[in-house]
């Protein structure tokens, strides 16, 4: 595993960053298996970060259930090692001052503008586009709306250049954010910081140098690296995007199994080792489900990726 992330003197710091907008499901458990498995194999630290930047959708009872689920499954975080984790809990909603100062830095670069387009308007102007993401067309770029006008979002002009990064599992990736999402929304019209902005500010200030997360956010990595670079440092972060979970027949996991909350299985008295085994099997780390403990994860991940090698999907 150290061949993957180097074995120099530098401390490796990674994070698990759920959004408390719902209960944990098996997909999160699969993600946690990768984060803790790689981290413990590489003597890395794991920061548990509650990504509650979208205050309208996040709930404290979800957060409490997430803490309880992770502890029940055996995923112990290292938050006490981090000075910014208050009483060992780190929430984005407590970090407004940091987001504000990063935003001011970007505003000073002269490339941030106010935008009052609604999602509906952007959709209407993009009617013919057959893209996977809704791309902002730069409509407000030259309209000169004051940054402090009411009900405006703030966007950062994104260059048309192609961005390249080497994913530790998937190899070289090429993305052009200007064609994917267009000018990046930093803060929305309701005053909420966006996922891309908050995640980059946090990864930088928390010294995260290894990001392990699902392929569902692979498309956002180019823009995040670009933003990190604008804020003073992207070279330090390596990315590992893990596969998403599949059912036993190789099909996408059934909605029922995916949606079934870990919390209700915990409260029903199930064996957490059975859940870990199910998630490991669904994500392709075990040929057949069997009870599994967190202590076995470093070995499981090392064996799996050493066996497969980087060229065919290994680390
Ligand atoms: N809060 C994000 C999620 O739950 C984390 C994505 C990331 O790791 O960057 O999907």
Ligand 1 atom index nearest CA of 220: 9
Q: Which residues lie with the beta carbon below 6 Å from any ligand 1 atom?
A: 17-19, 51, 199, 213, 217
Whether the pTM exceeds 0.85: the reply is yes
Pair of tokens at residue 106:
């970007």
Residue nearest to atom 4 of ligand 1 (CA): 18
Pair of tokens at residue 65:
């259930």
For residue 137, what are the CA distances in angstroms to 14, 127, 159, 187? 34, 12, 13, 17
Architecture of domain 2-109+196-308: 3-Layer(aba) Sandwich (3.40)
- Give 17 Cα–ligand 1 centroid separation in angstroms: 5
CB 43, CB 78: distance < 8 Å: no
pLDDT, one tens digit per residue, over 50-101 is 999 888 899 999 999 999 999 999 999 999 877 777 778 899 999 999 999 9
Given a cut of 50, whether residue 312 has pLDDT beyond it is: no
CB 2, CB 42: distance < 8 Å: yes
Q: Does the CA dihedral 147-148-152-154 come out positive or negative?
A: positive
Given a cut of 90, whether residue 255 has pLDDT beyond it is: no
Ligand 1 atom index nearest CA of 211: 8
Given a cut of 70, whether residue 258 has pLDDT beyond it is: no
| Geometric angle at alpha carbon 184, from 242 and 84, rounded to 5° | 65
Given a cut of 50, whether residue 311 has pLDDT beyond it is: no
H or E element in which residue 213 lies:
strand 210-214
Q: Indicate the top mutation candidate among 30, 195, 228 to test ligand 1's pocket, ranked by most ligand atoms within 8 A of CB.
A: 195
Quickly state the pLDDT bin for 251 (edges 50, 70, 90). low
Nearest partner of 294 among 95, 33, 5, judged by Cα: 33
- Give 294 Cα–ligand 1 centroid separation in angstroms: 21
CB 128, CB 146: distance < 8 Å: no
pLDDT, one tens digit per residue, over 176-224 is 999 999 999 999 999 999 999 999 999 999 999 999 999 999 999 999 9
Question: Could you tell me the residue ranges of all domains in the chain?
Answer: 2-109+196-308
């Amino acid at each position: 595993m150290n061949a993957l992330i180097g074995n120099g003197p530098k401390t490796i710091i990674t994070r698990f960053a759920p959004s408390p907008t719902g209960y944990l499901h098996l997909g999160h458990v699969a993600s946690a298996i990768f984060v803790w498995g790689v981290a413990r194999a590489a003597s890395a630290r794991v920061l548990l970060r509650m990504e509650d930047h979208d205050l309208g959708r996040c709930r404290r009872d979800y957060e409490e259930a997430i803490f309880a689920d992770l502890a029940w499954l055996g995923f112990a975080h290292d938050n006490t090692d981090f000075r910014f984790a208050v009483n060992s809990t780190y929430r984005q909603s407590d970090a407004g001052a940091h987001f504000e100062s990063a935003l001011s830095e970007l505003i000073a670069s002269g490339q941030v503008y106010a935008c009052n387009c609604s999602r509906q308007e952007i959709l209407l102007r993009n009617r013919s586009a057959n893209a996977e993401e809704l791309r902002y067309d730069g409509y407000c770029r030259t309209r000169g709306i004051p940054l402090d006008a009411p009900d405006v979002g703030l966007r950062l002009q994104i260059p048309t250049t192609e961005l390249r990064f080497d994913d530790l599992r998937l190899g070289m990736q090429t993305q052009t954010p200007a064609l994917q999402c267009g000018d990046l929304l930093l803060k929305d019209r309701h005053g909420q910081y966006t996922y891309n902005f908050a995640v980059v500010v946090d990864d930088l200030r928390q010294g995260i140098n290894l990001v392990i997360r699902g392929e569902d956010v692979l498309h956002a990595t180019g823009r995040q690296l670009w933003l990190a670079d604008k804020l003073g440092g992207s070279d330090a972060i390596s990315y590992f995007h893990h596969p998403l979970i599949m059912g036993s027949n190789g099909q996408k996991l059934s909605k029922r199994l995916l949606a079934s909350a870990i919390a209700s299985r915990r409260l029903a008295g199930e064996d957490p080792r059975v859940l870990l085994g199910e998630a490991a099997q669904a994500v392709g780390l075990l040929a057949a489900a069997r009870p599994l403990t967190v202590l076995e994860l470093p070995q499981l991940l090392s064996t799996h990726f050493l066996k497969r090698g980087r060229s065919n999907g290994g680390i």
